[in-house]
Structure 1
């Protein structure tokens, strides 16, 4: 869980940096984003990383289910008095629920963008590249889709908020001497990732023609 989670956290940074091109003025954003998408799709190394990403996501999900089943089996059924709310956060107790929301969001996201880019019959831009920018903008011009996207990213944020420190602890990076640094780093990372992904659809929606 910690290793796959860490890899996925690194991927989110790279993915966000690429998507921030969508905040450029429309003409520059289209040319830059489509060129970037074309560069990634034709790179053998990126294709290997893409497969590694899918394997990591699948492994993360499967192992999360295994850990959940193991925890339920170990704890038995029902507590007479459960005081976990006093010593743990809501998101740490609901990582499975948040994970399911993220999974549903991910399936929708891949279907609407990755799948259409790979297998759809999309138009070309002036440079001759597949016009993924047009597809992204068309999606984010729909209010309901923006709300759905924001809900998915919010779930991701809560998931990351606990997952970051949990992964650091599992990997032996959580020591009393610098535990506060790890917690602050986790919060800053979560804020940057969540705000970064959220601002893109909001910006596009309010700047639609």
Structure 2
């Protein structure tokens, strides 16, 4: 009973942190879509947007919630996975294989791939912006735009980014429905709407983030070489 209660609490917490991260992804994508603007306009807009986020106390508070949510989400996922394996037993047969999607059975692998991506992503952009020595643009803003564009000049980095976004998309497909169940809103009356919204959200987030490095590489690659 105690184990079941603990697992339910962890799943609920993971669902809440996951939904917050889903909300953040929408905001993050809207900001990054500025990179699809013409180069001069994109630089001004993107750097201004980055400066606004870094200098706003409300955004700073949200960022701490974001960091906490990331850590809690990852730790909860790890604990739940380890407990489920221990409970199932070493030689237990997984009966989900015939009915569940492959990405539902491999959330741990997808989550690990996303975590590896986040390490590189934070190192290349967040760490550089916070602690690195960045050039400034004509408005005195840290020139994060130039750093981002430079990163997308390497085809392997673009490929790594796109593959990571597909891993994120599959993670979201399962995670969104799993969160709905954990929070008790996966009711038969609304299940079709939840499925449509969940799939639509996952597809838009995946395609939106994946298209940005591809667009930058194809449209600005020549001018940098």
Q: TM over 0.5, yes or no?
A: yes
Match of 1:29 in 2: 42
1:99 is the counterpart of 2:90: no
- For 1:8 and 1:29, the matched residues in 2 are separated by 25
The Cα of 1:83 is off from its aligned counterpart by 3.9
Q: Do the aligned partners of residues 44 and 57 (structure 1) sit closer, same or farther apart at CA in structure 2, a change above 3 Å counting?
A: same
Match of 1:11 in 2: 24
Match of 1:151 in 2: 163
Two-structure CA RMSD over aligned residues (Å): 0.9
- For 2:88 and 2:19, the matched residues in 1 are separated by 28
Match of 1:69 in 2: 82
Please give the secondary structure, in 2, of the residue aligned with 1:20: helix
User: Taking structure 1 as the reference length, what is the TM-score of the superposition?
Assistant: 0.97
1:41 is the counterpart of 2:54: yes
The Cα of 1:52 is off from its aligned counterpart by 0.8
- For 1:170 and 1:85, the matched residues in 2 are separated by 21
Alignment equivalent of 1:184, drawn from 184, 192, 196: 196
1:110-129 Cα shifts (integer Å, max 9, x gaps): 00000001111111111111
Structure 1, unmatched stretches of 5+, are none
The aligned runs of 1:136-175 (5 Å cut-off) are 136-175=148-187
The Cα of 1:84 is off from its aligned counterpart by 2.3
- For 1:83 and 1:178, the matched residues in 2 are separated by 27
Alignment equivalent of 1:52, drawn from 65, 76, 82: 65
Q: Do the aligned partners of residues 203 and 46 (structure 1) sit closer, same or farther apart at CA in structure 2, a change above 3 Å counting?
A: same
**More divergent stretch after superposition (86-95 vs 68-77):** 68-77
Please list every run of at least 4 consecutive aligned residues from structure 1 whose deviation after the TM superposition is greater than 3 angstroms. none
The Cα of 1:12 is off from its aligned counterpart by 0.2
Q: Do the aligned partners of residues 46 and 106 (structure 1) sit closer, same or farther apart at CA in structure 2, a change above 3 Å counting?
A: same
Alignment equivalent of 1:123, drawn from 107, 129, 135: 135
Match of 2:209 in 1: 197
- For 2:120 and 2:64, the matched residues in 1 are separated by 19
The Cα of 1:82 is off from its aligned counterpart by 4.2
1:109 is the counterpart of 2:121: yes
